[in-house]
Amino acid sequence: MKHYDFKGDYYEDRARVRQHGRWFYVDLDGNRVGTESFDFASNFHEGLALVIKYGRWFFVDLEGNRVGTESFDNAWDFHEGRSLVLKYGRYFYVDRDMNRVGTDSFACDFHEGRAMVKQDGRWFYVERNMKRVGTD
């Protein structure tokens, strides 16, 4: 049995573990997933997990491979195929391929197909295609 400083619960058949201050993932058999280790690792959501390395946030897939080349100042878990990210003081959404979705705004996670966003001082809902819903 391997010794870890921390071992989290399994999400999508992966658990995040910390050993000697570095984070990585293991599968259901306890085998390490991928070769990279991170400053921090989060649980998997929708097949992707947030990790931090050298102060930058990015996503890895279930095999531990980095998704896309972009990194962020902060990022949140995926909900309904979208993640809210922060880069250079601007909030926006990315899809699972790290393509930018929508315009700069302050926003919340997607739930039940909608998310609240604030743009130009006004709050409103948008659908996953970023189409505005309602008036306020």
Query: Would you tell me how many other CB atoms lie within 10 Å of the CB of residue 121?
Result: 5
Q: What angle do CA 21, 26, 28 make, to 5 degrees?
A: 145
Model confidence pLDDT, tens digit, residues 18-67 = 999 999 999 999 999 999 999 999 999 999 999 999 999 999 999 999 99
pTM: 0.78
Structure tokens at 9: 């619960």
When pLDDT is averaged across residues 82-109 and rounded to a whole number, the result is 82
Q: Where are the domains of the chain?
A: 1-72
Closest CA to 81 of 45, 133, 44: 45
Model confidence pLDDT, tens digit, residues 102-114 = 765 666 767 778 8
- Using CA atoms, how far apart are residues 91 and 103, in angstroms rounded to an integer? 8
Residue type, 59: F
Check: CATH 3.40.1440 for 1-72? Answer: no
